[in-house]
Amino acid sequence: MKNKKSKSLILDNIMTEVDEQLGAVPTADFDGSPIEDSLHMDMLVDGISAIHFVDGIGRKHYPFNKTVATILVEDELECRNLEPTLEDINVDKKNN
């Protein structure tokens, strides 16, 4: 994640919580199926959309609706798929 310039504590808390949840997203279900094809995908999306903050007078605000939460989870999985695997890294080491 890039260095942020904002000093907002609310933004920092939101970003930290989203980062933790996205970082914990498994790439496969318990039976080895891709998580995108799993019923657990809905739970992951619900986790992101449940992130909230409380304003100065006690009202809860939810910055991520299900559409944005779905896009974030899908983007996390897509970015992971673009990362080199251990096999790719080992092949690169042998070739250098």
pLDDT tens for 20-75 read 999 999 988 888 888 888 888 999 999 999 999 999 999 999 999 999 999 999 99
Distances (CA, A) of 12 to 35, 54, 82, 96: 28, 14, 27, 41
**Calpha distance 92→12 (Å, rounded):** 37
- Compute φ and ψ for 61, nearest 5 degrees: -130, 135
Q: What is the pLDDT of residues 5-33, one digit of tens each?
A: 899 999 999 999 999 999 999 988 888 88
User: Domain spans of the chain?
Assistant: 9-95
| H helix runs in 1-96, sequence order | 9-23, 40-49, 66-82, 86-95
Q: How far apart are CA 94 and CA 92, in angstroms?
A: 5
Residue 25 has, within 13 A of its CA and on its CB side, a CA count of: 32
Lookup: tokens for 77: 């999985």
The tokens for 43 are 């739970």
